[in-house]
Amino acid sequence: MSIAENVSRIRAQMNAAAIAAGRDPSEIKLCAATKMNDADAVRQAIAAGVDCCGENRVQELTQKRSENAYAGALVHFIGHLQTNKVKQVVGKVDLIQSVDRINLMEAIEKEAARQGIIQNILLEVNIGREASKSGFYAEEIFQVLDQFMNFPHLSIKGLMAIPPVCQHPGENFRFFQEISQLSVDIEEKKYDNVTVDCLSIGMSDDFTDAIACGSTMVRIGTAIFGARNYAKLHL
């Protein structure tokens, strides 16, 4: 199946999941997780109508941008970001989804202030409390928000999470519901410069479950591009 066929199949599944949940399909965005896929594949996904591209690695972001891969499309950063690489990302992407620690927030703030811009971010939540994953624990999120006035060059647009790998269908519901509730709790507190319009949950294997639980952005790689080929991409 071509990338275009995959995107239209996924859209149909997204729409069906939204309608089954009594939601408006237009409120759910499709982010193509483009890691390990080259500029040509990225262009095909954009032509097929994905809402944005999500890159994991600074090196790939920089290389594909230099190849004009994203032409006109929104670009998000979705991978682990080292503080010494923020200069290559801040002001160059529309949204940094993977803000997972305070010292990264500080580094992004400093760079955004230097550039005189406001950088849109999501806070990444370690929803399964896994040692192997990054992200704030749910209860830390409120500590972050309580000191958010110290970050005038950041604007929080919502939350992102990667739940634990689940063995059984439906097992991830608990995690998705927990983060969905967290975004409701944040909304109720009405912090300045904080919205939770974006709830970025759901990947190739579980995006319909995520939509059932309130996802407004799914990040999909394999189901769009096929299995990632680590030998193919020359970077």
Ligand X SMILES: *Cc1c(COP(=O)(O)O)cnc(C)c1O
Q: How far is the CB of 192 from ligand X (least distance, A)?
A: 28
- Near ligand X in 160-179, by CB under 6 A: 162
Binding window for ligand X (CB under 6 A); candidates: 17-25, 60-68, 187-195, 198-206:
198-206
How big is the site for ligand X, counted in residues (CB under 6 A)?
14
Q: In the complex with ligand X, which residue's Cβ is closer, 202 or 214?
A: 202
Give min distance, CB of 79 to ligand X, in A: 6
Tell me how far, at minimum, the Cβ of 54 lies from ligand X, in Å: 6
DSSP structure string for the chain: --HHHHHHHHHHHHHHHHHHTT--GGG-EEEEE-TT--HHHHHHHHHTT-SEEEES-HHHHHHHHHTT-STTSEEEE-S---GGGGGGTTTTSSEEEEE-SHHHHHHHHHHHHHHT--EEEEEEE-TT--TTS-SB-HHHHHHHHHTGGG-TTEEEEEEEE-PPP-SSTTTTHHHHHHHHHHHHHHHHH--TTEEEEEEE---TTTHHHHHHTT-SEEEESHHHH-S--TTT---
Q: Which residue is nearest to ligand X (CB)?
A: 221
The contact pattern for ligand X, residues 3-42, with x = CB under 6 A and - = no contact, is ------------------------------x-x-------
Least Å distance between CB 146 and ligand X? 27
Q: Would you count residue 78 as binding ligand X (CB under 6 A)?
A: yes
108 touching ligand X, by CB under 6 A: no
What are the residues binding ligand X (CB under 6 A)?
Answer: 33, 35, 56, 78-79, 162, 203-205, 219-223
